[in-house]
């Protein structure tokens, strides 16, 4: 059986198409060789376990690697020091036996001793006694011992786990000051930054002390998939399937929409491989085209998966996070990146946003559109007038399979003026863009996609890119600031059309001037056709 694209569990090079992460592993290996203790905290399904699997393989000749998964510890394991210590010892022994049972005589004897301790179930066996045994393993191993713990989030709001971290910290310090035989390196992998455990505790609970994991080295390794890495994966796939795709161009599309988020890259590839053009198993040529890719994006945004469910769930858990994202998406509010701001920190940690030249922007186009769809669906449920009007109008905007964007703008201007024309400036600034997307969504839903161009968010305007049946439409939305400002905007969108190789662009201006003249006009600038709408 040939390789497949994998979106469940770690990727295995022999079984799955995957991007080359050799450079990532090299950088992490450098930290381990230096004796660092650190946390790999990345958003859900960001390739953490895949990275640990590759790291485990890369280290096995030089280190005794103990790789544990805290998901295997049930909630009862955290009742007290005794239950945790015995549960930890059990999974530690299992890993010793699986990986290194008959390799080193000293370790083999220690494993038998540890098994006896476990079988006794001594009620006095606590963290101090556990660490006596762990340090004995470190002292008797022929190779330095590296401890890797995956899914550490499952433990991170338990006091006994904080005590466990305190012990790790103590022996880390003694390793350098007293020469104590301790772990060469400890790696904790999870979503939450273990150095800031207060953020994990729910507001209604008592805050536990902050984590003692202040010995951790900064982990700055880029774990996103690079354009070149994606291209290498697609080149291997193309060699197996001969679809006729251009791996370089397809890698560019995947990276533009996902920013290299591993799950999203793999999921879109899996959809193109298995869902698009599925009627003919012998040819996948149309699947691996720009049109096939956009169809995969549409399918992805229409499905439910654990990653999307987790992201949306965080909005209910953290209302202040939801409010910040609304302001970023709909109001065009520029947000300066400040890592000490807890709400921004949460948004980065969960994968919603990233830092781009000191500004907060959405992590990628897929998440951007996912959030727009979610917030707008809540508006749809309120049966807002502009949404109802769109449902009544939507069948008149399609001509020979393509959107008539000019007619969409004309009808939107009329509806918006009738429904909201007497509202104040603040309404236009905060609600105008949102109401246009709410009007647009039912028209393209199920067939087309849209996303917001990140490059223009901080320029006082928002560019909406609509993909519909392989054709793109660029609509700039902005607040009217006078004729001179508008002229600059016209020139900007003309330049922007060149980037997309388009001849026609659209502008939607929200004007709160009482003497405004609403309507739609068409002008030509530098050979480009520009359709301007004013409400």
pLDDT of residue 401: 86
Round to whole Å and give the CA distance between 408 and 411: 5
Q: How many CB atoms lie within 10 A of CB 132?
A: 9
Tokens of 60: 């096995």
Round to whole Å and give the CA distance between 71 and 78: 12
Tell which residue, 317, 265, 326, 332, has the closest CA to residue 293. Answer: 265
Instruction: Note the helical H segments in 185-242.
Output: 227-241
**SS3 call for 149:** strand
Tokens of 339: 């890592």
Q: What is the DSSP string of 303-343?
A: S--HHHHHHHHHHHH-HHHHHHHHHHHHS----B--TT-HH
Stated as kind and residue range, the H or E segment containing 359 is strand 359-362
pLDDT of residue 65: 94
Round to whole Å and give the CA distance between 363 and 426: 28
Place of tokens 């703008």: 409
Q: What is the pLDDT of residues 360-404, one digit of tens each?
A: 999 999 999 999 999 999 888 777 888 889 999 988 999 888 899
Stated as kind and residue range, the H or E segment containing 506 is strand 504-510
Give me the chain's average pLDDT, please.
87
Tokens of 444: 């393209």
The one-character DSSP state at 454 is: G
Q: What is the DSSP string of 463-491?
A: EEEEEETTEEEEEEEEE---HHHHHHHHH
Following CA atoms 509, 514, 517, 519 in sequence, which dihedral angle do they give, to the nearest 10 degrees?
Answer: 50
The angle at the Cα of 288, spanning 286 to 289, to the nearest 5 degrees, equals 70
Listed by start position, the domains of the chain span 22-200, 227-303, 386-534
What's the CATH number of domain 22-200, 1.20.120, 1.10.10, 3.10.450, 3.40.50? 3.40.50
Round to whole Å and give the CA distance between 126 and 122: 9
Tokens of 381: 């449920």
Q: How many CB atoms lie within 10 A of CB 206?
A: 5
Round to whole Å and give the CA distance between 420 and 428: 9
**In this structure, what are the phi and psi dihedrals at residue 471, rounded to the nearest 5 degrees?**
-110, 145
Q: What is the pLDDT of residues 216-228, one digit of tens each?
A: 899 999 999 999 9
> What's CA 397's distance to the chain center, in Å?
34
Query: Could you say which residues of the chain have pLDDT below 70?
Result: 1, 100-105, 156-157, 195-211, 277-283, 332, 423-430, 454-462, 481-489, 512, 514-515
pLDDT of residue 284: 78
Contact 484, 509 (CB under 8 A): no
Give how far Cα 91 sits from Cα of 40, 97, 148, 155, 510, Å.
Answer: 21, 10, 12, 15, 62
**SS3 call for 65:** strand
Round to whole Å and give the CA distance between 347 and 355: 11
pLDDT of residue 332: 65
Round to whole Å and give the CA distance between 516 and 510: 10
Tell which residue, 497, 378, 534, has the closest CA to residue 441. Answer: 378
**SS3 call for 277:** coil
**SS3 call for 68:** strand
The angle at the Cα of 305, spanning 303 to 306, to the nearest 5 degrees, equals 165
Stated as kind and residue range, the H or E segment containing 529 is strand 528-534
pLDDT of residue 9: 85
Round to whole Å and give the CA distance between 378 and 372: 10
Round to whole Å and give the CA distance between 520 and 207: 57
pLDDT of residue 297: 94
In this structure, are strands 185-190 and 145-150 parallel, antiparallel, or unpaired?
A: parallel
Stated as kind and residue range, the H or E segment containing 115 is helix 105-120
């Amino acid at each position: 059986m040939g390789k497949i694209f994998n979106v469940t569990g770690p990727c295995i090079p022999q079984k799955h198409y995957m991007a080359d992460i050799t450079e990532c592993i090299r950088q992490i290996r450098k930290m381990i060789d230096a004796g660092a203790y650190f946390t790999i905290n990345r958003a859900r399904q960001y390739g953490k376990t895949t990275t640990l699997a590759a790291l485990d393989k890369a280290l096995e000749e030089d280190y005794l690697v103990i790789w544990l998964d805290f998901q295997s510890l049930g909630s009862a394991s955290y009742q007290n020091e005794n239950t945790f210590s015995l549960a930890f010892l059990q999974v530690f022994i299992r890993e010793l036996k699986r990986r290194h049972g008959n390799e080193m005589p000293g370790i083999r004897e220690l494993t038998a001793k540890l098994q006896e301790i476990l079988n006794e179930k001594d009620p006095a066996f606590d963290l101090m006694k556990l660490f006596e045994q762990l340090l004995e393993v470190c002292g008797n191993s022929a190779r330095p011992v590296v401890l890797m713990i995956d899914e550490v989030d499952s433990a991170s709001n338990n006091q006994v786990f904080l005590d466990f971290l305190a012990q790790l910290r103590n022996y880390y310090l003694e390793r350098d000051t007293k020469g104590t035989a301790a772990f060469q390196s400890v790696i904790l992998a999870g979503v939450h930054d273990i150095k800031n455990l207060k953020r994990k505790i729910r507001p209604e609970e008592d805050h536990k002390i902050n984590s003692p994991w202040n010995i951790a080295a900064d982990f700055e390794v880029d774990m996103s998939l690079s354009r070149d890495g994606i291209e290498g994966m697609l080149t291997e796939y193309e060699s197996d399937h001969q679809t006729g795709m251009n791996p370089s161009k397809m890698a560019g599309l995947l990276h533009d929409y996902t920013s290299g988020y591993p799950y999203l890259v793999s999921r879109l590839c899996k959809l193109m491989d298995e869902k698009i053009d599925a009627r003919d198993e012998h040819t996948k040529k149309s699947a691996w085209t720009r049109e096939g890719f956009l169809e995969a994006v549409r399918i992805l945004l229409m499905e439910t998966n654990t990653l999307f469910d987790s992201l949306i769930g965080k909005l209910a858990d953290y209302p202040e996070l939801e409010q910040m994202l609304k302001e970023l998406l709909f109001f065009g509010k520029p947000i300066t990146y400040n890592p000490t701001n807890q709400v921004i920190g949460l948004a980065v940690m969960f994968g919603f946003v990233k830092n781009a030249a000191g500004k907060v922007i959405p992590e990628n186009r897929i998440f951007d559109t996912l959030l727009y769809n979610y917030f707008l669906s809540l508006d749809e449920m309120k049966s807002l007038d502009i949404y109802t009007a769109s449902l009544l109008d939507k069948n008149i905007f399609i001509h020979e399979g393509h959107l008539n964007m000019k007619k969409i703008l004309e009808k939107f201007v009329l509806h918006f003026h009738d429904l909201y024309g007497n509202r104040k400036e603040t309404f236009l600034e905060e609600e105008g863009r949102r109401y246009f997307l709410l009007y647009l969504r039912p028209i393209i839903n199920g067939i087309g996609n849209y996303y917001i161009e990140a490059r223009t968010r901080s320029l006082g305007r928002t560019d909406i890119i609509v993909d519909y049946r392989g054709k793109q439409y660029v609509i700039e939305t902005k607040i009217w600031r006078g004729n001179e400002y508008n002229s600059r905007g016209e020139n900007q969108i003309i330049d922007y059309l060149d980037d997309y190789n388009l001849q026609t662009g659209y502008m939607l201006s929200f004007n709160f001037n009482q003497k405004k003249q609403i309507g739609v006009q068409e002008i030509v600038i530098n050979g480009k056709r520009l359709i301007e709408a004013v409400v």
